[in-house]
Amino acid sequence: MFVNPIAVAIGVITCFPLILALPTFDSVRFFLYPDPWNLDYTQEIIPGDSKSLLTSKYNKWHFPVILIHGYGQNYSTSFPQLTKDAFLKQKLPVNVIVADWSGIIQKLNVVVNRRHGIHGPLTTVNADLIGKRVGEFIVFLINHGVLTDPTRVHLVGFSLGAQISGIAGQHAKHYTGRPIQRITGLDPAGPLFHFHAIKGKRLDHSDAYFVDVVHSNQGRYGIAGNNGHVDFFPNGGGPEQPGCTPRSDIPGLPGSCPHVRAWEYFTETILGSKIWACKAISYKDYNVLGNGNCHDKILFGLKVPPTARGSYYFDIVRNDPGSPAKISGPSFASYGLAPSPLYLY
């Protein structure tokens, strides 16, 4: 039986009836990690339960960073855990929160294309409903006085979580009348989301004041083309990334290592790596500029300037398993330049 890994990652359109499991509050859970000296300590904040919030160690003077995982993951997998750890280790003025929607997968009826044997347990409809729950969680924080408004929110989503982040931004804006401050999309999921019919139910630059996107697996698990105010294309944006082996694949998603690289590269920048990128119209153009002729270079990752616009490229190698990234190639990838001041960090 042929099983399409891309269909498994996101879902498929079939001629068979589609049964959806509609997300409820209890199927999207929110875990606060308040202690940089104890990375595993967590408190669950339950939307609608004021006590769970007000008795937690949520710091109302810090802004929330909400990490949203992709398909095949949950709150305890490498993403978001390693990215969460990176935020905590830097002792930034943030409330690190992990949104876990993995419970929805357990409740879903699998859609089966009996002719081709393609299974698709998740659809864009569910992504919309999960995003709505995240948007409602932001409103829950505002209504309880621990968050002034959505302009102090940063969403970081990987794969399907990136698309959910965009949808959450849309719902938060609908509820409050103001956009959230920033969305970072880490290789937003591609299958199904490229269809024109669902435009508006996926991540784009209108979902926050500033949307930065990294593409590492275009055309396979990741969506192709520009989605944010600024889009980064490491090693040309994929579909392949150097140094990948099956050990870095997401379980059940063969060949997903290049997809995973997006959150790994971003996490390196939280930990202090300065990865410089060059503005170019294509990867070919970038390689021409790599001889020192690049005049428009910015930091990639956590400290990207919010005024950045357009497409930026850089070369980077991260060898398995778990070795640190190595920036290579153009001479402008210098560690000596100071980062620009930013709106939140």
Distances from the Cα of 141 to the Cα of 101, 166, 200, angstroms: 19, 19, 25
- Is the pLDDT at 329 greater than 80? The verdict is no
Q: What is the pLDDT of residue 247?
A: 85
Conformational region of residue 101, where left means phi above 0, alpha means psi within -120 to 50, and beta covers everything else: alpha
Q: What is the pLDDT of residue 195?
A: 59
Q: Over the range 286-316, which residues count as b (16 or more CB within 10 Å of their CB) and which as e?
A: bbebbeeebeebbbbbbbbbbebeebbbbbb
Residue 105 banded pLDDT, cuts 50, 70, 90? low
> Measured between alpha carbons, how far is 255 from 245 in angstroms, rounded to an integer?
8
Confirm if 170 and 155 have CB atoms less than 8 A apart.
no
Q: What is the pLDDT of residue 9?
A: 39
Domains and CATH numbers, the chain: 5-328 (3.40.50.1820)
Residue 20 banded pLDDT, cuts 50, 70, 90? very low
Give pTM, 2 decimals.
Answer: 0.84
259 catalytic? Reply is: yes
> Measured between alpha carbons, how far is 204 from 151 in angstroms, rounded to an integer?
17
The model's pLDDT over 207-219, given as tens digits with 9 standing for 90+, comes to 999 999 999 999 9
Least confident of 12-21, 135-144, 165-174: 12-21
What single DSSP character describes residue 33? E
Percent of the chain clearing pLDDT 70 (strictly above): 75
Residue 190 banded pLDDT, cuts 50, 70, 90? confident
For residue 181, count other CB atoms closer than 10 A to its CB. 20
Q: Which of 27, 159, 216, 273 is catalytic?
A: 159
Confirm if 210 and 179 have CB atoms less than 8 A apart.
no
159 catalytic? Reply is: yes
273 catalytic? Reply is: no
Mean model confidence pLDDT for the chain? 82
Backbone angles phi, psi at 196, to 5 degrees: -60, -30
Q: Which of 85, 100, 128, 187 is catalytic?
A: 187
> Measured between alpha carbons, how far is 27 from 104 in angstroms, rounded to an integer?
6
Q: Which of 205, 259, 311, 315 is catalytic?
A: 259
CA 231, distance to chain mean position in Å, is: 13
